[in-house]
A and B are shown apart, each in its own frame.
Chain A
Amino acid sequence: MSVEVETPAAVARDPKRPDPRPLPLVFERSGEGKVGYSLPPLDVPDAIAIPEALRRAEIAGETQISEVDVARHFTRLSQRNFSIDQGLYPLGSCTMKHNPRTNEEMARLPGFAAAHPLAPEALSQGTLELAWLLERALSELTGLPRVTLQPSAGAQGELAGILLVRKALEKTGRPRKTVLIPDSAHGTNPASAHFAGYTVKELKSNPRGTIDLDVLEKAMTDDVAALMLTVPNTLGIFEDKILDIARIVHAKGGYLYCDGANFNAFVGVAKPGLMGIDVMHMNLHKTFSTPHGGGGPGSGPVAVTHSLVPYLPRPTVERRADGTFFLDYDRPESIGRLRTFLGNYGMFVRALSYIAAYGNRIGEVARGAVLNANYIRAGLSGVYHLKYDGPSMHEVVFSDKKQSELGVSNVDIAKRLMDYGFHPPTMSFPLIVHGALMIEPTETEGKPVLDAFIRAMKDIARECEESPDLVRGAPHTTPVKRVDEVGAARNLVLRWRP
């Protein structure tokens, strides 16, 4: 295979398309005798006090490479990624918004990045205070009294939330058996409920895509621990009967869990605590703009109502009367821990910086996000099918119904969008919309970008009619053409071999 090691001055190729040759693996750039590090000379006697039987030989296959080669390798690799800073990334339910760079610098201050989680309390007052302030801010925004920052990401937050419910119910003598989850929910909800020891019962949505109160009333027995509800749901529709839903769940002694993945739709405008929500996870990497980083690190704080506070994960951050802060490990009723230390602390720094930038005007985030989604909806209605036409909040879910009649699928449309310079929407869910195109523009896109996106989607719809092969063969301008994902799963190659 021809892999690009150095870019020759002139390569005959399509100027609109990036150099299509694969980049070598970092291991393939390696060469005997090259060095990419420097260390001070050892200033103590060189000793190895570990028996030979417990030691290893050299790490066969590991790299030998200079820093220059590493710099170019990772720079060139990066150029084969699409990112928010390049353009609209309307991946539904992922809230791909602008990531302010001040926050990056704040998280890298030595007082945070070079702090150790087990340093003495007296020397960690700043880290503790920041965690405490973030908890206070999230508590204010959710209208719920306490928040644990420990979960590493949304899915771990879900698990923590359901474990809290389970623990509270165990106190009453019976943890119950079932968790109700609407058929529109993200797949992590049932997986998390399962790992908390519950059986999942799916709730069928009504024709408007929201909870059917009759269906809920029937399903909500005294064997149901909780209803896990995404608000707004994955169709981008707000459950306008949220207060009735909470009443029905509470009447049977159950808990109302809110998947806060879509908090961007109402942050600073409405409070989950006022909706009757008992427990809710948030995604700092969505609503609060901590970078997605190619798939993490995330952070999934969980806010809870009073009755769940005793069971919060250990430790909690507390403030003494004298204004000093401490970690409280003495929480005998706690569910325990979800992970080591306090959580993804670096994300706390970024999120608090972000919240500080908006302050009491943070509702403008939600207002902007909802305006943008509705603008896209207005621009594309009639062009793409809208199965559920309830009022949209921060995202809108179209489908490929019209285009599939022409033999073009949502995947083809998504791939064609890449040629227009946009990231595709989400397609893998909600499962109740076949051929979904779930579009979440976020508030950090302006009208010209949205107009360009609407134009591109209209152009593609026309291409589906006039030249469907052009769409089915897309993308045409990306570093690699359509990738054989089926082949990857059939013939697994998961690593390079020396």
Chain B
Amino acid sequence: MKFLPTSDGERREMLAAIGARSIDDLFASVPAEVRRDPDLPPPMSEIEIRRFIGGLAKKNVNARDTAFFLGAGVYHHYVSAIADQMLYRAEWLTAYTPYQPEISQGTLQSIFEFQTHVCLLTGLEVANASLYEGASALVEALLMAERLSRGRTKAVLSAAIHPEYRETARTYFSNLGLELVEVPLGADGTTDARALAAAVDEKTFAVAVQSPNFYGVVEDWAAGSAAAKAKGALSVAVIAEAASLALLKPPGEGGADIACGEAQALGVPMHNGGPLLGFLSCRSEHQRQIPGRLVGETRDAEGRRAFCLTLSTREQHIRREKATSNICTNQGLMALASNIHMSLLGKEGLREVARQCHAKAEYLKGEIAKLRGYRLPYAGPTFNEFLVEAPEDAVGLLARLATRGILGGVPLSRFDPSDRRRFLVAVTEMNERVEMDRLVAALAGRDA
């Protein structure tokens, strides 16, 4: 087998050195009753693997071959070739957690740079080395706020936070004796500020609002922050479309104590929903309660700048059941991809991408609004994604569009089966005007 470098002759020498007659002898502690050969097909060569896996890949439609308008938490942005090429380098790909800083300065410095990018974009002072993805990042942010509150038991969430984030939070919170309360939307598609303020009380440890929210509407961070501060709770800002951070007011400026969410939009391919890239940043006074890995700057024995993992006393291999979180890995390679992507785009590019996404979405929104029978249910400002109400069942409509090579949006029935006619449309810098015009024509029932 080509991944096994030991020859039969070497194997015999090794067994002799061990003093065993056969490899089977080394498995003597495994009871015979539990041993069983697997019923799997014979080994495949590389050529056969390419046929097998390649055949499965061909059965999927992908964003590169279609007019593509799907979002709802995963976005089709451009990633420069160099970002992915860099990930192939063995020094990045085949290293592990930088526990040994002397031979891991590459990974450590890259994470330190990633942490800095996240701080600059979110307007907060400290960021961690990344988390799994957006939903678990929200959970970690809420649990962090709960620890900081010392005994409070309730989190108030906007109902316009991504439904799968909220469902994840319910799963995690179900057994911890903590309460989750959801606040509905107002008519313009933003979280009802009055209901939000009313839901927060002295038991509340966190108030979480997403912007742009799940329906694409831009929220004012200040509303959530004010409601939180009035009762001494922490304000948690949730971001699912991180490209927006280059155009919209950063959470830190809007009074948020913790920002968290999904940074896939900043340099990570869609990957059919994973791996993605969770992030979390906060004010420096809360840094000792931040979950997950952190890289800090320090010196080596000769006084040179160096980096290492730090504050590991918060982590589970030391604190065990008292740890700030059970998470052990971060999303190292995706954080690297994102660091490269953000560095390339930089100050100007990040803004330009955000502006193009927004301008194109505004164009498409305007064109759809003109169509007879279609309605834009929410009037609040949007960034690059917006909600549309169709004159018919959205699933059927979008399936018809798909046969013409247009993936026109994500039907909300996927999250709430009773929500039949509404769907989300996302636009990025990848969408050309001609594609948008084709979508509009197809929605209108005209041939495109």
Task: Determine if A360 and B37 form an interchain contact, defined as CB atoms under 8 angstroms apart.
Answer: yes
Task: Determine if A126 and B60 form an interchain contact, defined as CB atoms under 8 angstroms apart.
Answer: yes
Residue numbers in A under 8 Å from B43 (CB-CB): 356-361
Q: Which of A140-154 contact B (CB under 8 A)?
A: 140-141, 143, 152-154
Residue numbers in B under 8 Å from A249 (CB-CB): none
Residue numbers in A under 8 Å from B92 (CB-CB): 78, 81, 83, 293-294
Counting CB contacts under 8 A, is A480 at the interface? yes
Given A81-B107, A111-B59, 15 new contacts (CB under 8 A): A54-B220, A55-B249, A61-B116, A81-B91, A86-B91, A113-B269, A116-B272, A140-B40, A154-B329, A340-B73, A341-B273, A371-B23, A418-B103, A492-B310, A494-B115
Q: Which of these, A30, A155, A187, A484, contacts B346 with CB under 8 Å? A: A30
Sample 16 A-B pairs with CB under 8 A, ordered by A number.
A35-B346, A35-B348, A44-B433, A46-B355, A56-B249, A59-B120, A61-B347, A116-B74, A242-B31, A243-B34, A292-B94, A342-B274, A357-B46, A374-B26, A415-B102, A447-B10
Q: Which of A423-444 contact B (CB under 8 A)?
A: 423-424, 428-429, 443-444
Counting CB contacts under 8 A, is A203 at the interface? no
Residue numbers in B under 8 Å from A40 (CB-CB): 429
Known A-B contacts A106-B50, A129-B56, A371-B6; the reply to A494 vs B249 at CB < 8 A is no
Task: Determine if B326 and A194 form an interchain contact, defined as CB atoms under 8 angstroms apart.
Answer: yes
Counting CB contacts under 8 A, is A312 at the interface? no
Counting CB contacts under 8 A, is B294 at the interface? yes
Task: Determine if A89 and B96 form an interchain contact, defined as CB atoms under 8 angstroms apart.
Answer: yes
Task: Determine if B30 and A238 form an interchain contact, defined as CB atoms under 8 angstroms apart.
Answer: yes
Q: Which of A96-104, A211-219, A398-406, A458-466 contacts B (4 or more CB under 8 A)?
A: A96-104
Q: Which of these, B106, B165, B350, contacts A59 with CB under 8 Å? A: B350
Q: Which of B285-331 contact A (CB under 8 A)?
A: 287, 293-302, 304-313, 315-323, 325-331
Counting CB contacts under 8 A, is A21 at the interface? yes
Task: Determine if A495 and B116 form an interchain contact, defined as CB atoms under 8 angstroms apart.
Answer: yes
Task: Determine if A59 and B287 form an interchain contact, defined as CB atoms under 8 angstroms apart.
Answer: no
**Distance in Å: Cβ of A111 to nearest Cβ of chain B:** 3
Residue numbers in A under 8 Å from B177 (CB-CB): 197
* Contact indicator per residue, chain B 401-426, by CB within 8 Å of chain A (1) or not (0): 01000010010001000000000000
Counting CB contacts under 8 A, is B446 at the interface? no
**Distance in Å: Cβ of A281 to nearest Cβ of chain B:** 12
Considering only CB atoms, which chain A residue lies closest to B63 in the complex? Answer: A114
Residue count of chain A within 8 Å CB distance of chain B: 210
Q: Which of B12-20, B147-155, B225-233, B369-377 contacts A (4 or more CB under 8 A)?
A: B12-20
* Contact indicator per residue, chain B 334-368, by CB within 8 Å of chain A (1) or not (0): 10100110111111111111011011101100000
Q: Which of B80-88, B181-189, B191-199, B200-208 contacts A (4 or more CB under 8 A)?
A: B80-88
**Distance in Å: Cβ of A119 to nearest Cβ of chain B:** 6
Task: Determine if B60 and A112 form an interchain contact, defined as CB atoms under 8 angstroms apart.
Answer: yes
Known A-B contacts A187-B320, A292-B97, A496-B112; the reply to A353 vs B306 at CB < 8 A is no
Counting CB contacts under 8 A, is A65 at the interface? yes
**Distance in Å: Cβ of B371 to nearest Cβ of chain A:** 17
Q: Which of B44, B57, B127 counts the most A-chain CB atoms under 10 A from its CB?
A: B57
Task: Determine if A480 and B274 form an interchain contact, defined as CB atoms under 8 angstroms apart.
Answer: no
Cα A248 to Cα B92 in complex, Å, equals: 45
Task: Determine if A341 and B327 form an interchain contact, defined as CB atoms under 8 angstroms apart.
Answer: no
Q: Which of these, A20, A141, A372, A492, contacts B304 with CB under 8 Å? A: A20
Cα A54 to Cα B383 in complex, Å, equals: 11
Task: Determine if B344 and A111 form an interchain contact, defined as CB atoms under 8 angstroms apart.
Answer: no
Q: Which of these, B63, B162, B296, contacts A116 with CB under 8 Å? A: B63
Cα A143 to Cα B50 in complex, Å, equals: 28
Residue numbers in A under 8 Å from B11 (CB-CB): 371
Cα A481 to Cα B303 in complex, Å, equals: 9
Cα A67 to Cα B436 in complex, Å, equals: 31
Residue count of chain B within 8 Å CB distance of chain A: 209
Known A-B contacts A102-B49, A339-B133; the reply to A196 vs B107 at CB < 8 A is no
Q: Which of A73-107 contact B (CB under 8 A)?
A: 73-75, 77-86, 89, 91, 94, 96-102, 104-107
Cα A341 to Cα B88 in complex, Å, equals: 26
Task: Determine if B107 and A444 form an interchain contact, defined as CB atoms under 8 angstroms apart.
Answer: no
Residue numbers in A under 8 Å from B310 (CB-CB): 485, 488-489, 492, 494
Known A-B contacts A371-B23, A496-B113; the reply to A47 vs B103 at CB < 8 A is no
Known A-B contacts A104-B88, A493-B296; the reply to A98 vs B175 at CB < 8 A is no
Residue numbers in A under 8 Å from B332 (CB-CB): 292-297
Task: Determine if B171 and A335 form an interchain contact, defined as CB atoms under 8 angstroms apart.
Answer: yes
Q: Which of these, B57, B65, B93, B167, contacts A293 with CB under 8 Å? A: B93
**Which 7 residue pairs are nearest across A and B when measured between Cβ atoms?**
A341-B273, A111-B57, A117-B273, A126-B59, A293-B333, A197-B175, A295-B332
**Distance in Å: Cβ of B435 to nearest Cβ of chain A:** 10
Residue numbers in B under 8 Å from A112 (CB-CB): 57, 60, 271-272
Counting CB contacts under 8 A, is A383 at the interface? no
Task: Determine if B135 and A339 form an interchain contact, defined as CB atoms under 8 angstroms apart.
Answer: yes
Task: Determine if B358 and A48 form an interchain contact, defined as CB atoms under 8 angstroms apart.
Answer: yes
Residue numbers in B under 8 Å from A408 (CB-CB): none
